[in-house]
Structure 1
């Protein structure tokens, strides 16, 4: 496991024992380290969940599933593009058909610079629309079909990965707008589905040293990886960027019965960086 695994000494408390979890965005971009979706899939499996690892890249999803199986847990890879509703339907109902229920939906999909995000005066219509389709519409339609199953069960937990960029500072227009939209949508989702025993919450990562975040900025800014990492570390009050395991641990809490009375919240995982706006 990656050296930045802050869960290397993890001890399973079986928080998700017997549950079925669909993790959308369970693969990751190439580069050093581990991504948020992969870390969440592994963390959920370590706590007893049977995991459907969903990603646009079936090869990357299979890498995640193989990592989980190598640790002795259960996981299956599934290829799906979040911009295609029919593929989301196949993934979500496929998990129910395979294992008999859908207890946790974890939406971990988002692009910014890698999707062509830019300042308001520079962004194009096509890039803006594409980021909206991935970041916001994909989450909405995954939830639509998960909720149909969860309402019938009268139980379920949905964890959407938004971003600290939603309520905080961020220079690029589409990512901020769509991630703020995920927060608002999750609040609506929580309120409207509470009578069915369904909880919905957000995780708001700040600066996290994932391959996607770091490598995109290495390319965009023409800087060394070390310089990008140092610049990002310097912006965090706790003195370092987070790791994907920090995000995964927050998602695990919200997905588990430990958060049984928690719904409609947005949990910041940002090392205190949001405080810089005050």
Structure 2
């Protein structure tokens, strides 16, 4: 694939929350941070796992990009406030906020524990409330900014397993993003979602493999569910996020960009 991303984010500063990968290979946040850097942005790579953030940062720097790291628990308002201050101290502004943190735990209301529910909601949903709470005042002062939140088609579709908390949190992200977009549109700030479908990333392999009877079986079955015959990958999510973060999308806000190979357009149950 020809890389046409160069220069699309030139001069911009991007915070990528969840910039590390949860396992070997390319997760959505890692791919997005690297792609944003290749497009000219200076990156603050944020992750709870400092080593994962540093790995992403090393890739960016090895390619000649600019990147710093920050460690943060996304459910902690104090950590998020410190993240914002670190970005301003290093780069002086924040043009893009990309929220990519998320965990997936199976179980419906009966099977899932209250602890599991609260954990998923805190990490997937409350984290975006907190990052926006602390970043939006900066963007408001600048009279510009783009927020790109990663949701999921699980917000609107059953995808094969009961994910009560995951689905609820992702649906909340879509609603929160639209609310922010409309509130802040007069101030030059845009907010949109990317909603990936079935994606072959490190996040899904270990947690879900046992439910399918093994990783190979899981990949084969999930590939077969997709109209295009295969799952997407982290780069598909990253390229969608790049478009929404760039000035090419300057008149696009309050939208959900679905990246699912056509899955949600079908009427066939997963």
TM-score normalised by length of structure 2: 0.96
Q: What RMSD, in angstroms, separates the aligned Cα atoms of the two structures? A: 1.2
1:28-47 per-residue CA deviation (whole Å, 9 max, x = no partner) reads 1123x310000000000000
Pairing 1:239–2:232 present = no
Match of 1:74? 66
CA distance in 2, matches of 1:261, 1:101: 22
Structure 2 CA distance for partners of 1:235 and 1:222, relative to 1, 3 Å: closer
Equivalent residue for 1:97, pick from 79, 89, 94: 89
Moved over 6 A (4+): none
Match of 2:3? 10
Match of 2:140? 151
CA distance in 1, matches of 2:187, 2:126: 23
User: Is the 2:5–2:35 Cα contact (8 Å) retained in structure 1?
Assistant: no
Deviation at 1:243, TM superposition (A): 0.7
Match of 1:3? none
- The 5-angstrom pairing of residues 120-159 of structure 1 reads 120-159=109-148
Pairing 1:41–2:33 present = yes
User: Is the 1:61–1:77 Cα contact (8 Å) retained in structure 2?
Assistant: yes
Equivalent residue for 1:86, pick from 57, 78, 81: 78
Unpaired runs of 5+ residues, structure 2, are: none
1:134-169 per-residue CA deviation (whole Å, 9 max, x = no partner) reads 010001110111101000000000000000100112
CA distance in 1, matches of 2:34, 2:139: 23
TM-score normalised by length of structure 1: 0.93
Equivalent residue for 2:42, pick from 39, 47, 50: 50
Structure 2 CA distance for partners of 1:109 and 1:69, relative to 1, 3 Å: same
Unpaired runs of 5+ residues, structure 1, are: 1-6
